[in-house]
Structure 1
Amino acid sequence: MTRRFAIGDHVSWNSEAGRVSGTIIAIHTSDFDYKGHRHRASYDQPQYEIKGDKTDHIAAHKGSALDYA
């Protein structure tokens, strides 16, 4: 089962630039469009919007890609 996170949790993930960290700002439990792409999400497999710590960049990831920072 995929780990569940909450808004405000501080998490990290691997990116092209290496390990990145940020804070969860939204949780999607249904499909949504983000940066021109359709992201699949459900209650059982949510996607998380995360605001990066260093650049304020917003990213969307599945819970399986995230770890607590």
Structure 2
Amino acid sequence: MAKDLKKGDEVTWQSHGHTVPGTVEKKITSRTEAAGRTVNASSDEPQYQVKSDKTGREAVHKPESLTKK
């Protein structure tokens, strides 16, 4: 589990059975729209917007889904 990630950190996550490498774009600490969906984040339960190195697509993940490289 990755904690205290910051913009530019290199991370990986699982997507459809594959490990995806990418970069943290930003930390989300409030309810907002990101990566095409509503994100229910808070300062106590932040989520991270990440960008895939392979496809360039953005996604949002909870910190427990991310592994810092």
TM-score class, shorter-chain normalisation, is 0.7 to 0.9
Q: Distance in 2 between matches of 1:44 and 1:6?
A: 16
Amino acid across the alignment from 2:68: Y
- SS of match in other structure, 1:27: strand
- Residue deviations 1:49-68, cap 9 Å, x none? 11111111111101110011
Q: How does 1:1-69 map to 2 (within 5 A)?
A: 3-34=3-34, 35=36, 37-69=37-69
Return 5+ residue gaps in structure 1 as ranges.
none
Deviation at 1:17, TM superposition (A): 4.9
Return 5+ residue gaps in structure 2 as ranges.
none
User: Size of the alignment, in residue pairs?
Assistant: 67
Q: Distance in 2 between matches of 1:7 and 1:23?
A: 8
Q: Distance in 2 between matches of 1:5 and 1:44?
A: 14
Instruction: Tell me the percent identity.
Output: 36
Amino acid across the alignment from 2:32: F
Deviation at 1:26, TM superposition (A): 1.2
Q: TM-score, normalised by structure 1?
A: 0.86
Structure 1: which 4+ aligned runs deviate by more than 6 Å?
none
